[in-house]
Structure 1
Amino acid sequence: MFSFLQVLPLCLFVSASPSQSMADQHESVSLCPPQADHATAAGHSWFPGPPPPMYSCTLTPELVAKAREELQEKPEWRLRDVQALRDMILKEHPNLRTRLDDAFLLRFLRARKFDYDRALQLLLNYHTGRKAWPEVFQDLKPSTVKHVLDLGFLTILPRPDPNGRYILFLQPGKWRPNDYPFVDNVRAIYLTLEKLIQPEETQVNGIVILADYTGVGMSQASNPGPSLAKKVVSILQDGFPIRIKAVNIINEPRIFKGIFAIIKPFLKEKMAERYVLHGSDLRSLQRNIPPSVLPEDYGGTAGRLDMSAWSRLLLDCEEEFIVEFCQPDPLEGVVLPDSMLFEGGQAGGKDEDAFRGLRSQLYYCY
């Protein structure tokens, strides 16, 4: 779990078109997620609700301009680009049971700056990751990770930063290996990311991660090996349509740098450069995340840290996640070329040997 968090700290409607008749016959038509009712939405007014069943852009003029500049998104071509990706899916992978609605496909186009081929690769990786890691994705719904949420392992800070980015806050020191399996933490984080990526503003702005490593010791640090880290890196870098813009680590122990050495080879250079280690220096943290966003616990002015609000939001979305994840394998009957297989599914012996050699050094440092 410790090494994983360094990687982090991670209605179906086809628009009218010439290809609509093909989409109407597609198996994914049954995977229509339910719309949140007004009472639920009102209860969580601090976080944007899911997109409407028929796509209508919800971006402000400022975000439209930002998407054009940073993501190569042209509003006048947006639905044409979505249709192009949809046509590629239906032609090249007709048996893939995936959502084909505009809002869903836009996530992948934005994450890959509207490059059709790279967006399709990301979509396939998104589904392949689920197949490669069934212990994480099988029966994935909030009620199955309620113990993780109740523990206060993660939350979303209620105020986005000045760049409009929501902050995923993690407390890995809350977890004890004897309490429950490590993969439950991964499941809770993945559900959170799935909810975070729904609003269009998150798709454009990305997210920030803040991880407080208070209480992390050798029991957490030595629990997962590089094969697990490699799986998580592959999912987050190449298999999930979200932009992680910064990872802030505070109160990290001395062993952190040693563990990070295991993960860094799997990280893309751009991602590795986005890690900022603050130690116990709150002023350093506040230079990256302003006090107006931080809770009082970290010298901020945003009130006391509330770990329960996000838990309630996720649990209220139980039905939505059942429809999204508790369905037949979307890759059943689909044959993918070797170039599109999930890279994190296997770990080489060299990775494990390196970890065994480093583990003794970690005990020495600790």
Structure 2
Amino acid sequence: MTGLSVEKFPEQYDEYTFTLGERYLKMAQEDLNETDSVREQSLTQMREWIAKHPFIKKCRTDSVFVLRFLRLRKFSVPRAQETLERYLAMRQSFPQWFQKLDPEDVEMKELLGNNQYQILGKDSEGRTVILIELKRFNEERFTSDHQARNAMLLLELLFDDEETQIGGYVVVLDYMDLTMRQLAIWSLTDVKNFMNCVNHSLPFRLREVHAVRLPKFALAIAELAVSCLSQKLKDRIFCHKSMGDVRKHLDDSLLTLDYEGGKQDPEQLKNDFIRRAVEKRQELLLLDEMEIDASRYKSLWHQTTDESIESGVAGSFRKLTVD
């Protein structure tokens, strides 16, 4: 596992070489302000900052890890530093969601077998497309903590994928056949905290979200989730009445055989995902060895009650674009 040391600031670290094709090189330069000189200087600054940080005790310093945050913040080092702090503090503040991402754990194996989260591949614009079929979650067997941890396992697999770091994500949320019981596993407080993590703490370049067939009973939760996002992210969320509307925004070849016009076998996608997770198991578990004095960051997540959140939910989701 070269390049995955959790020492505070190893004397030896990997020398980075850009190995992606011309397409992603152009995207990195034009979209992220990334050049060889900027990247080298920024990596050095980040590593030195980690080494001197009074509250960071252990942290990965390999290039692909640090680039997660630099690319997210378009090589603004101060903003990348802030996100890295939040990411480390988040992992320790909510271990039930972000730690023990073990694909060989009995419960995780069952979750992966349910195939709720599917990596469909890259679209014509070089973005990584993820399909989430909420109906596949077994609410009688699992809790919201399991659902979040399953999502984080998928994301941690992708965070170090450089094409995804540069191209970003397109997420399709299919709410078809979602039940009230499946939705009710999430408290309003947990929704708020999880979405705050997505908004501020995860190295996650969200390009588009396509929500389809959202039932009326889920509207309040959706409104709360969206209210936690920045305006930039809100502008990237689109609501659709049918998957046919979503297909106007996607490459048909990426959809699974479960959808009209789809070409991919969902079972094959599931098996590929599981194999990929097992191959990266040690790297996933090693993430838990990173450490920061999380007590210094308690103010990032204000503890509020479900009642106070519910009274403050606005109608922001209704204002999103609907085909």
**What interval of TM-score do these two structures reach, taking the shorter chain for normalisation?**
0.7 to 0.9
Equivalent residues of 1:155, 1:311 under 8 A apart: no
Equivalent residues of 1:227, 1:351 under 8 A apart: no
Pick from 281, 285, 298 the counterpart of residue 322 of structure 1. 285
Q: 1:303 to 1:91 in 2, by over 3 A?
A: closer
Q: Does 1:55 align with 2:20?
A: no
Q: Does 1:88 align with 2:49?
A: yes
Report the counterpart of residue 351 of structure 1 in structure 2: 308
Structure-to-structure mapping, 1:150-299, within 5 angstroms: 150-157=113-120, 159-280=121-242, 282-299=243-260
- Cα distance between partner residues in 2 of 1:356 and 1:210: 24
What displacement does 1:350 show? 5.5
What displacement does 1:271 show? 1.2
Structure 1 letter corresponding to 2:90: G
Structure 2 letter corresponding to 1:315: V
Secondary structure, in 3 states, of the residue corresponding to 1:73? coil
- Cα distance between partner residues in 2 of 1:120 and 1:139: 24
What displacement does 1:194 show? 0.8
- Cα distance between partner residues in 2 of 1:237 and 1:356: 17
Equivalent residues of 2:172, 2:211 under 8 A apart: yes
- Cα distance between partner residues in 2 of 1:356 and 1:179: 29
Q: 1:88 to 1:257 in 2, by over 3 A?
A: same
> Where in structure 2 are there 5+ consecutive unaligned residues?
316-323
Equivalent residues of 2:187, 2:306 under 8 A apart: no
What displacement does 1:155 show? 1.6
User: Which of 295-304 and 191-200 deviates more?
Assistant: 295-304
Percent of paired sites with the same residue: 24
What displacement does 1:132 show? 1.0
Report the counterpart of residue 364 of structure 1 in structure 2: none
Pairs aligned (count): 310
Q: 1:27 to 1:132 in 2, by over 3 A?
A: same
Q: 1:146 to 1:273 in 2, by over 3 A?
A: same
Provide Cα deviations, 1:155-188, integer angstroms capped at 9, x if missing partner: 211x311111121111111223221122111111
- Cα distance between partner residues in 2 of 1:99 and 1:191: 18
Report the counterpart of residue 3 of structure 2 in structure 1: 12
Report the counterpart of residue 114 of structure 1 in structure 2: 75
- Cα distance between partner residues in 1 of 2:143 and 2:185: 10
Equivalent residues of 1:27, 1:97 under 8 A apart: yes
Q: 1:201 to 1:356 in 2, by over 3 A?
A: closer
Structure 2 letter corresponding to 1:128: A
Give me the TM-score of the superposition, normalised by structure 2: 0.86
Equivalent residues of 2:175, 2:214 under 8 A apart: yes
Equivalent residues of 2:122, 2:128 under 8 A apart: yes
Equivalent residues of 1:290, 1:300 under 8 A apart: no
Q: 1:235 to 1:28 in 2, by over 3 A?
A: farther
- Cα distance between partner residues in 1 of 2:110 and 2:265: 22
What displacement does 1:111 show? 0.5
Equivalent residues of 2:90, 2:201 under 8 A apart: yes
- Cα distance between partner residues in 2 of 1:73 and 1:122: 18
Structure 1 letter corresponding to 2:308: D
- Cα distance between partner residues in 2 of 1:222 and 1:269: 27
- Cα distance between partner residues in 1 of 2:36 and 2:9: 26
What displacement does 1:55 show? 2.4
Give runs of ≥4 in structure 1 deviating > 6 Å: 355-358
- Cα distance between partner residues in 1 of 2:310 and 2:4: 49
Equivalent residues of 2:188, 2:310 under 8 A apart: no
Structure 1 letter corresponding to 2:194: V
> Where in structure 1 are there 5+ consecutive unaligned residues?
1-10, 15-22, 33-51, 359-366
What is the RMSD computed on CA atoms of the aligned residues?
Answer: 2.8
Secondary structure, in 3 states, of the residue corresponding to 1:240? coil
User: Which of 67-76 and 52-61 deviates more?
Assistant: 52-61
What displacement does 1:348 show? 4.9
Pick from 295, 299, 303 the counterpart of residue 264 of structure 2. 303
What displacement does 1:54 show? 4.4
Structure 1 letter corresponding to 2:303: Q
Q: Does 1:73 align with 2:34?
A: yes
Equivalent residues of 1:13, 1:102 under 8 A apart: no
Report the counterpart of residue 276 of structure 2 in structure 1: 313
Secondary structure, in 3 states, of the residue corresponding to 2:252? coil
What displacement does 1:292 show? 2.1
What displacement does 1:149 show? 0.6
- Cα distance between partner residues in 2 of 1:196 and 1:342: 29
Q: 1:102 to 1:128 in 2, by over 3 A?
A: same
